[in-house]
Amino acid sequence: MSPMIPVQPMSLEVLTHDAYRQLEHAASLKGLLKPFKGKRELEHLAQVAREIEAQLCHLMTAVVQQTGQPPYSLLGIRLVLQNTSAGSTFLRWRSRDFSRMGVAVWERQISNNALLQAVREGLHRFERDRIALNLQMSVVHSLYSQATTCAIKMDSAERLLRQFTTAVEVSP
């Protein structure tokens, strides 16, 4: 890596308010804070959470693509999508050779005195976006998991009630 990176960074406008506009409508808490009457409502909530996860993943991909452009692509770090065993996706910093991972990789790069201030500020913006998107993904994935689990429990409770009601009706 050369001591100074001469390329000026491109505009960092991936995560504008417009990028989030569609998510804002889908993610209204109004639909969450209500009495759920059955399994179907919880399954719908889980489906909405899955759709929001897909939209967040799209935003994450856009950030990763932007970090893959010069001057950031010339640095010793990469921002990558990491899929978890739980089925969600998070943004992670990795060294160029993939030997190290985590925020320490980003900290080391941003602390490089040879880095142009504009590049340092761009990396800071990417880190802010990474933190926010990971938080949002974590919350939405947790909502999906909880809604799915609660739908199963609701179904089980409804089946037990039907079973008991049928048994009582059959009894003489």
Q: State the Cα–Cα distance between residues 105 and 121, nearest whole angstrom.
A: 16
User: In the chain, which residue ranges form alpha helices assigned H by DSSP?
Assistant: 17-26, 39-67, 103-110, 117-170
Is pLDDT larger for residue 21 or for residue 126? 126
Domain ranges of the chain: 38-170
Q: Could you give the C-alpha distances from 159 to 25, 52, 60, 142, 164, in angstroms and in order? A: 34, 30, 41, 26, 9
pLDDT at 58 over 90: yes
Q: How far is CA 59 from the centre of its chain?
A: 9
Q: What is the pTM of this model?
A: 0.80
Question: What mean pLDDT do residues 154-168 have?
Answer: 85
As a whole-number percent, the residues of the chain with pLDDT over 90 amount to: 67
SS3 state at 77: strand
